[in-house]
């Protein structure tokens, strides 16, 4: 008989449900340019492995902080050696899956190095809150999006205004999501007053909606408008400067995974028409 509690603890440790944060930008890049999903599967799964590595390493560092109660609880049955081993193995698997695209496109080798560098900076230095979260959004959104373009042979200089606006939309919304995550977990950004936290998150959500509308108009694509419901939910949740429950983060993660599934369905249909 499967021990559900043990299985749940394992899944909770690797936080595989967070993988959508880096997979969605890749899928949108594939969708916008009508690319074949199968041609980029190694990159997608490579990012899933590296996402686990980043989560485990981040937890190994954060667990030293007594305020990080969730992290301590999530890793309480694991020593630093187990976490280190898990991180190294997943990193090796992820790197292996990127060998093909790095060999074919040296630019993706540079992008890959930058992603590693930005994640490392995020893990070891969390004093400069907004800047650090921006670096995380760049590593999880902009660079993976670019990597798919380079892998498909599309020149970055050929990107049109509508797509630039779309990438900026993803970046701002990623920044908004990271802020919400930090607020609920009472991380670094929680040192600001509730009113300031509300202004930051609601401001980023409104900017996301504005850029989504502009992107949709320029690209003539309805799918971008459909996703507008998520930042609207953020605005509703933070309509008052009050503490949010941890359920808000969980709902956000669930919706993010549903959006990932939506994109997969559309891309698969697009590929086999």
Residue 16 has pLDDT above 90, yes or no: no
- Segment 136-162 mean pLDDT: 89
Residue 20 has pLDDT above 50, yes or no: yes
d(CA 152, CA 60): 36
pLDDT 10s digits, 151-181: 999 887 788 888 999 999 999 988 888 888 7
Q: Is 77 helix (H, G, I), strand (E, B) or coil?
A: coil
pLDDT 10s digits, 86-107: 888 888 999 999 999 999 999 9
d(CA 7, CA 11): 6
Which residue shows structure tokens 């049955």? 77
Residue 147 has pLDDT above 80, yes or no: yes
Residue 38 has pLDDT above 70, yes or no: yes
Neighbours of 68 (CB within 10 A): 18
d(CA 209, CA 224): 10
pLDDT 10s digits, 208-250: 999 988 998 898 887 777 777 788 888 888 887 767 666 777 7
The share of the chain scoring above pLDDT 70, in percent, equals 88
Residues 6+ apart with CB under 8 A from 237: 180, 244, 248
**Residue 95 confidence (pLDDT):** 92
The model's confidence at residue 23, banded by pLDDT at 50, 70 and 90, is: very high
d(CA 75, CA 173): 29
Cα-Cα end-to-end distance for the chain: 43
**Residue 27 confidence (pLDDT):** 94
Residues 6+ apart with CB under 8 A from 265: none
Q: 48, 19 in Cβ contact below 8 A?
A: yes
Domain boundaries, the chain: 12-271
- Segment 10-37 mean pLDDT: 86
Helical segments of 39-153, H only: 41-62, 69-74, 80-104, 106-124, 129-137, 143-151
């Amino acid at each position: 008989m499967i021990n559900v509690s043990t299985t749940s603890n394992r899944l909770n440790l690797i936080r595989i449900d967070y993988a959508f944060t880096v997979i969605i930008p890749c899928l949108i890049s594939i969708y916008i340019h009508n690319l074949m999903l199968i041609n980029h599967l190694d990159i997608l799964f490579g990012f899933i492995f590296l996402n686990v590595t980043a989560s485990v390493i981040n937890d190994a560092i954060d667990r030293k902080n007594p305020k990080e109660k969730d992290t301590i609880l999530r890793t309480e049955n694991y020593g630093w050696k187990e976490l280190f081993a898990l991180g190294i193995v997943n990193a090796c698997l992820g790197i292996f899956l990127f060998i093909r695209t790095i060999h074919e496109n040296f630019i993706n080798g540079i992008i890959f190095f930058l992603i590693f560098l930005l994640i490392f900076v995020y893990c070891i230095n969390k004093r400069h809150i907004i800047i650090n979260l921006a670096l995380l959004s760049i590593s999880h959104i902009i660079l993976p999006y670019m990597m798919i373009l380079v892998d498909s042979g599309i020149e970055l200089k050929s990107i049109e205004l509508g797509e630039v606006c779309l990438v900026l939309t993803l970046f701002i919304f990623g920044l908004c999501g990271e802020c919400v995550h930090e607020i609920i977990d009472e991380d670094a950004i929680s040192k600001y007053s509730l009113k300031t936290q509300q202004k930051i998150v609601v401001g980023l959500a409104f900017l996301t909606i504005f850029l989504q509308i502009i992107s949709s108009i320029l690209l003539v694509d309805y799918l971008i408008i459909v996703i507008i419901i998520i930042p609207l939910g953020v605005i509703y949740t933070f309509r008052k400067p009050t503490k949010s429950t941890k359920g808000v983060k969980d709902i956000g993660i669930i919706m993010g995974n549903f959006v990932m599934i939506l994109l997969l369905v559309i891309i698969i249909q697009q590929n086999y028409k």
